Amino acid sequence: MIELVSEDRCVQCKLCVKVCPTNVFDAGEDGIPVIARQEDCQTCFVCEAYCPVDALYVSPQADLPEHVEESDLIERGLLGSWREKIGWGPGRTKLAAIDTTAFIDRIHPVFGKQGKGIHTIR
Stretch that binds ligand SF4, among 14-22, 64-72, 90-98, 111-119 (CB under 6 A): 14-22
Calculate the dihedral angle through the C-alpha atoms of 61, 66, 68, 74, rounding to the nearest 10 degrees.
0
Q: Which of 44, 42, 35 is nearest to 68 (CA)?
A: 35
Q: Which one of residues 3, 4, 10, 59 is an interface residue with ligand SF4 (CB under 6 A)? A: 10
* 83/9 Cα distance (integer angstroms): 15
Residue 34 interacts with ligand SF4 (CB under 6 A): yes or no: no
Residue 33 interacts with ligand SF4 (CB under 6 A): yes or no: yes
Residue 74 interacts with ligand SF4 (CB under 6 A): yes or no: no
SS3 39: helix
Residue 47 interacts with ligand SF4 (CB under 6 A): yes or no: yes
Residues within the interface to ligand SF4 (CB under 6 A)? 2, 5, 10-16, 20-22, 24, 33, 41-47, 50-51, 53, 55-56, 58
